[in-house]
Structure 1
């Protein structure tokens, strides 16, 4: 297919909005899991749950209205590669200090470390492609697959909004049980407090409000363009750079990379790659407006983590496949079974890295032990 200019413009707008909002809320999926595991901080985790709820409702409405079909819902083949890839990605993003989307918005804020993480991820993408052809496909990846096609609960013979509404109702029931009606209502009001005055110059917006905006924007993108993805486009960007060095034939002769450019008229950047690039631009503008941009040089001691974590994220994102944002928003939002397995794997990976690699204080378990001893 040949891309039209309108698609590049739309991609630039979506990417800018994602980067702007992610920076405003300091929205990092790694932190949502790591902070809860280590110090029982659920601030970012609540934002992730709101984002998932918004995406599920959004996808259900879109399908109900016939604005998209079930066949367009993002869902990958199901197998052990989902779990293994998820675990490795969770370990990688904890080591690197950021998820795929977090690395992009922090790069826009001037963090040199996360430019290194992004570069390492793209190298990891290429390493996977070079191992996939000729070794990984037949001897590693295919044996791990239990089903060649993906499956989403939207494929069940049920009203499209039924399952999302049931899940969101359960989430609300748990919230009301824990915080009460007044607590939930107060939380909803608090999420809008950052809009007093000029919100664009403020350094922080409430993550719950930003999560709703992100879910709505992702739903609109699903209708007019495609599902949001980061590591897939990053792999194609890496492929374009590789073609500059070794020529187009080198890329086309690799089975995996050839497949990545199957819908492209030539090896080059498409709308999705434009979206990823403009996420950095959006974060940069957001940081400039709030006067939080500055070039931040990394500590040398952190470099092995940035490189190693980035490489592991790049490789595992091709195994899973997909990164945190693809598997959480269009994946869980689209009720994809493969994405559910990947996200569970990521949570396990973050736990392993937090508890056994960095050995952060597991206050959750310390508190449980304390509670048990007092009973």
Structure 2
């Protein structure tokens, strides 16, 4: 099958490495973008997320306009109430765990044992959902679906670049009103200062620069390989692990896991799973170059948060479906209606956990310093 040609594995490894390297350089974490603003009105990471969304929107619009990719490649899933419910639960889970799906991967590459625990718990949550789905979960999930297929606003009879340019133009208008044209120009200049000297050995790059580069890399992946996803491939990684323990029939006999491997010739790791693994490798190399790699053991009182938050993230990522990465980059970049609903749910979930569970999470995390 074309899906398993060696060049696709190589491309996936390259893209995964770049994602891990870049995300580590900016400590790019989606949960922090909402959590930090709610708790202490820190919008630094939030600005990066907005730059990433804007870049992905323009990138997807250009790719479709010039025929570099087709509308069939745009990531979208059935629309319904489960998008919102899953998003809210995922937002709560990643706030409890202290990291989003991509944040856990880059921090694992930096040597944080806590986030290896979060990842393992997410895999366990994926499997738990699969076991619940077959036979009970589908009976609850399917009635909440309003459409049987996904919907992207790119499917409207409009020029592909029109909506992205309108949205990004509105974002620029708000930015210029707040900071002025000189402020925006100065912001662009400030964002590229970290490229001076030897940027590879620097411990931090401006998050706006990293967000732009992430959007460019994601657009290239959209054109050359596929759209980026984390929790879907992680579910298949968990399925492969199950097949080693209980045999392949255990996976094939589960309705949900069987669907996850529907395009695979056998139960095994494909390009998307390779990408996930190399995200950790990229973060590891980035941390080594900047001398920020260190094995860090979590304090015992943080373990329930890592395990519980990871389990919630794993289960809810299958409900939504998708994690922060899938719904923010290819989802919003692809103008997917389901992803818009999921992202709104995630923001609500982070707000609920921040305001009513942790009260002031930044103070909590400083008190429970992982170092």
The answer to whether TM tops 0.5 is yes
Partner of 2:149: helix, strand, or coil? Answer: coil
Partner of 1:285: helix, strand, or coil? Answer: helix
Deviation at 1:145, TM superposition (A): 0.5
Q: Does 1:308 align with 2:298?
A: no
- Cα distance between partner residues in 2 of 1:287 and 1:5: 28
- Cα distance between partner residues in 2 of 1:7 and 1:70: 21
Q: Does 1:117 align with 2:118?
A: yes
- Cα distance between partner residues in 2 of 1:100 and 1:29: 9
Contact kept, 8 Å, 2:35 with 2:361, in 1: the verdict is: no
- Cα distance between partner residues in 2 of 1:69 and 1:135: 36
Instruction: Tell me what 2:214 maps to.
Output: 214
TM-score of the pair, normalised by structure 2: 0.97
Q: How do residues 23-34 of structure 1 correspond to structure 2 at under 5 angstroms?
A: 23-34=24-35
Instruction: Tell me what 2:192 maps to.
Output: 192
- Cα distance between partner residues in 1 of 2:195 and 2:270: 35
Can you list the C-alpha shifts for 1:126-145, whole angstroms capped at 9, x where unaligned?
A: 000000001111x2111111
Q: How do residues 348-367 of structure 1 correspond to structure 2 at under 5 angstroms?
A: 348-360=348-360
- Cα distance between partner residues in 1 of 2:25 and 2:282: 10
Contact kept, 8 Å, 2:229 with 2:323, in 1: the verdict is: yes
Instruction: Tell me what 2:38 maps to.
Output: 37
Deviation at 1:71, TM superposition (A): 1.4
Q: How do residues 259-298 of structure 1 correspond to structure 2 at under 5 angstroms?
A: 259-298=259-298
Deviation at 1:69, TM superposition (A): 1.2
- When structure 1 is superposed on structure 2, of 352-361 and 111-120 the one drifting more is 352-361
Contact kept, 8 Å, 2:12 with 2:274, in 1: the verdict is: yes
Q: Does 1:331 align with 2:326?
A: no
Over 3 Å counting, the alpha-carbon distance change for 1:361 and 1:250 in structure 2 is closer
Instruction: Tell me what 2:369 maps to.
Output: none
- Cα distance between partner residues in 1 of 2:155 and 2:187: 35
Contact kept, 8 Å, 1:24 with 1:204, in 2: the verdict is: yes
Instruction: Tell me what 1:150 maps to.
Output: 150
- Cα distance between partner residues in 2 of 1:31 and 1:272: 25
Contact kept, 8 Å, 1:151 with 1:337, in 2: the verdict is: yes
- Cα distance between partner residues in 1 of 2:280 and 2:85: 29
Instruction: Tell me what 2:177 maps to.
Output: 177
Partner of 2:179: helix, strand, or coil? Answer: helix
Contact kept, 8 Å, 1:39 with 1:361, in 2: the verdict is: no
Can you list the C-alpha shifts for 1:258-284, whole angstroms capped at 9, x where unaligned?
A: 000011111000000000000000000
Instruction: Tell me what 2:253 maps to.
Output: 253
Partner of 1:258: helix, strand, or coil? Answer: helix
* Pairs aligned (count): 362
- Cα distance between partner residues in 2 of 1:359 and 1:48: 23
Q: Give RMSD over aligned pairs.
A: 1.1
Instruction: Tell me what 1:95 maps to.
Output: 96
Can you list the C-alpha shifts for 1:336-374, whole angstroms capped at 9, x where unaligned?
A: 000000000000000000000001189xxxxxxxxxxxx
Partner of 1:159: helix, strand, or coil? Answer: coil
Deviation at 1:196, TM superposition (A): 1.5
Runs of 5+ unmatched residues, structure 2: 363-371
- When structure 1 is superposed on structure 2, of 192-201 and 86-95 the one drifting more is 192-201
Partner of 2:146: helix, strand, or coil? Answer: strand
Contact kept, 8 Å, 1:12 with 1:275, in 2: the verdict is: yes
Runs of 5+ unmatched residues, structure 1: 363-375
Deviation at 1:215, TM superposition (A): 0.4
TM-score of the pair, normalised by structure 1: 0.95
- Cα distance between partner residues in 1 of 2:361 and 2:348: 17
